[in-house]
Every structure is written in structure tokens, then in C-alpha cells.
């Protein structure tokens, strides 16, 4: 449960680590996961354990300049990404829309995480959705390893953030 000030935790040099147990928790987590990059090869569904796991390259919004400006010298790296493990428990089914799981070298750009009654939608750019059927919200997120610098700050049209209907049963 997000019982402490997540913004203070994430703004520090400590790794982001949190457990989400309800829709409010997930909305906070979604802000920290926005624009995470997910290689298709880095997700798996473990049906016997009721678990969906993925490792993303999380953009560290908490370290990026708030106004999005580039440093004057142009050479200074001013933003970071970090590997981040994400685990959803209580998952009974995974559906996908908008990509082929066989194309394991494809990279998906996570826009938002949206819970609704009995499901959690992971909405990605290009009208891609992963829908998790869940009996409850239980998600663990933890940064893994050291962050690395990047000069690329994500940007995308706002209309991309709408989840597409998930229509394909998946073993992700």
C-alpha cells in the first residue's frame, strides 16, 4: 500500500519501491511508470502462480527538469532511466491488443496503468493494450540496479493514452 509520501521516496537517491493495493495506489504508480519502455521479450505470464511480470526501462520523471529544458551546454545528460521490475499478483488471464508476442525485439512505450472492475489495463503508445483479469489489485514495483543517463525526454500526443480493447487471449 502507498502509505508514505511516494514523491519524497522517489525524489531521493534510493530506488523506487512500492506496493499498490487499490486504484488510488495504482494512479500514483502510473505516474512513475509513464513512458517506461517494455521489450516484448521482458514480460511473462505465470498462470499457475497467477502472476504477470515485466521488466521495463523506467524514465525517472522525478530526476528530469520540470520544465523539460535542455542544459545550455547541450552535453550535460539531464535525465535518467532505470530497470524496474513490475509484478501483478492474482492474475487469472492476460489479453493483448495491437502487437505480436512473437516479435520479441519490439519495444512498447507504456503510457498509463488503468484499473477497472476486475481488470487492469496497461495502455501503450500505438494503440497497444495488455489487459490483466485480476481478482484484486496487488502490484509490486521496484527499481533494479543503477540508473543510467539519457538525453531523450519522452513526449507523445495526449490521445495515445486511451486503452484499446484487448481482444486476444495471451500467455504473454
Query: What global pTM score does this model have?
Result: 0.78
For residue range 53-78, list pLDDT tens digits in order: 999 999 998 877 666 555 555 555 57
pLDDT at 166 over 80: no
Report the pLDDT value the prediction gives residue 38, as an integer from 0 to 100. 98
- Does some domain include residue 142? yes
Question: Could you tell me if residue 152 is inside a domain?
Answer: yes
Q: What is the C-alpha to C-alpha distance for residues 65 and 172, in angstroms, rounded to an integer?
A: 35
Q: Do the Cβ atoms of 19 and 139 come closer than 8 Å?
A: yes
pLDDT of residue 171: 54
Arithmetic mean of pLDDT, 95-122: 94
19 within domain boundaries: yes
Asked if pLDDT for residue 159 goes beyond 60, the answer is no
Confidence of residue 4 (pLDDT cuts 50, 70, 90): very low
| Residue 110 domain-assigned (yes or no) | yes
Q: Is the confidence at residue 103, as pLDDT, over 80?
A: yes
Tally of structural domains, the chain: 1
What gap in Å lies between CA 96 and CA 119, rounded to an integer? 13
- Dist CA 63 CA 46 (whole Å): 33
pLDDT, the chain, mean: 83
Structural domain including 99 reads 6-170
Q: Does 1 reside within a domain?
A: no
State CA 79 to chain mean position distance. 17
Quick one: pLDDT at residue 5?
42
Amino acid at each position: 500500500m502507498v502509505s508514505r509520501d511516494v514523491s519524497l521516496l522517489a525524489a531521493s537517491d534510493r530506488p523506487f519501491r512500492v506496493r499498490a493495493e487499490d486504484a488510488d495506489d495504482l494512479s500514483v504508480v502510473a505516474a512513475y511508470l509513464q513512458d517506461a519502455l517494455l521489450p516484448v521479450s521482458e514480460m511473462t505470464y505465470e498462470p499457475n502462480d497467477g502472476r504477470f511480470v515485466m521488466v521495463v526501462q523506467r524514465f525517472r520523471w522525478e530526476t528530469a527538469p520540470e520544465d523539460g529544458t535542455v542544459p545550455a551546454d547541450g552535453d550535460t545528460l539531464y535525465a535518467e532511466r532505470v530497470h524496474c521490475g513490475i509484478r501483478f499478483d492474482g492474475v487469472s488471464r492476460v489479453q493483448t491488443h495491437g502487437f505480436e508476442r512473437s516479435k520479441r525485439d519490439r519495444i512498447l512505450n507504456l503510457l498509463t496503468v488503468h484499473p477497472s472492475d476486475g481488470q487492469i489495463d496497461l495502455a501503450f503508445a500505438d494503440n497497444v493494450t495488455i489487459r490483466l483479469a485480476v481478482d484484486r489489485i496487488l502490484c509490486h514495483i521496484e527499481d533494479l540496479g543503477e540508473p543510467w543517463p539519457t538525453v531523450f525526454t519522452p513526449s507523445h500526443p495526449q490521445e495515445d493514452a486511451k486503452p484499446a480493447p484487448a481482444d486476444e487471449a495471451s500467455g504473454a
